[in-house]
Structure 1
């Protein structure tokens, strides 16, 4: 009898030592902090009217990102994502390509997604989401190569409204903390205006459309 009870006791102790899943349930709030890598897949129009055929490219960026997810049900969550990144617009060919750095701007794209969590009671919980974003472009500045060529320049970038797609996974570390992997695609565009001293007003239509890849940690509040 003692020989039979020992395995039962050991199994019970082992089960108690396994971390409880940080499962998401209706009413839970999940807070995540990620490091993100933002890579625009830009499609630039020409710099008009002075530089037809010349376009711009946008630099990648790394930044922290914060988000809150409210679980409306065990499977459905509503997430608010906030981060800001700095990017440069560089000339690609011709005269502006020879200048290099043209414009620098900060980008703030608050995004709300509606998520579906496939396995809310599992230790590995994949999810997908879709939603909307409104992007603010702020602290726009002309860079030295541009102002040296055409004089003082006022830069304006229009804000953007678009959609977003998301996929990710939460992986439990213990009953409250979890690892998060996340990827998003954000529909984003802007009209760039360069009010230059020597060349007058120049405009560029840029579809930014970045992929955002994130790795971080979360906590169930």
Structure 2
């Protein structure tokens, strides 16, 4: 049996190479669409609730997270010609600074990586020339990775910061514009996320501050799409 399988493998590979592959051929009506995008993450991070502040550190204080630009990969499956499900993959890195009474603290949380796992259901509206505007919505989970106390708070004795993962949702709108009839196109996309996280700051094993933040960024993308 082993010899039979070994002998059959070259024939199988040859047949696969010679056989037509219509499923992988580009098509404006294909089931799958892959997008390679440049994405601007316009972050938010303001305090909406103080959960633990024994030293009164947050009186008159507010925070802000910096914006970032990252590459993004989106994969979309068309359930019908006008309805699809889409997920994205990207990491975005941010740091949190102070505003208001915390304005001198320019680096509160450093180097936090965020993975915004998202699944949206989209409705496409076909127009003339193959142009398809769309709207969508769906759940998201923000995973926070490798967050560190920033240089502004380490001298105060803070040794660790932890941001909780947050479940939320996203609203989406955009347009796909065909370049040719072989599945290539340009994609413009905008998402508005709604999610919360709780940031907990520790000195050793003692929690010295806990604040709840809205994480409601705009995520704006543009790039190339290939449908097959």
Number of aligned residues: 196
Query: Which ranges of structure 2 fall in alignment gaps of 5 or more residues?
Result: 1-25
1:192 aligns with 2:195: no
Aligned to 1:178: 185
Aligned to 1:14: none
Aligned to 2:42: 39
Q: Where do 1:19-98 residues align within 5 Å?
A: 22-25=27-30, 28-45=31-48, 48-50=53-55, 51=57, 52-94=59-101, 96-98=102-104
Give the CA deviation at 1:146: 1.3
Q: SS at the partner of 2:103?
A: helix
* Residues 45-104 of structure 1: CA deviation (Å, up to 9, x unaligned): 36633312212111111101111110000010010112110111111132x321211102
1:103 & 1:135 partners in 2: Cα distance?
16
Aligned to 2:144: 137
2:218 & 2:128 partners in 1: Cα distance?
29
Give the CA deviation at 1:120: 7.6
Instruction: Point out 4+ residue stretches in structure 1 off by more than 6 angstroms.
Output: none
Query: Which ranges of structure 1 fall in alignment gaps of 5 or more residues?
Result: 1-20
Aligned to 1:116: 123
Task: Give me the TM-score of the superposition, normalised by structure 1.
Answer: 0.82
Aligned to 2:173: 167
RMSD between superposed Cα atoms in Å: 2.0
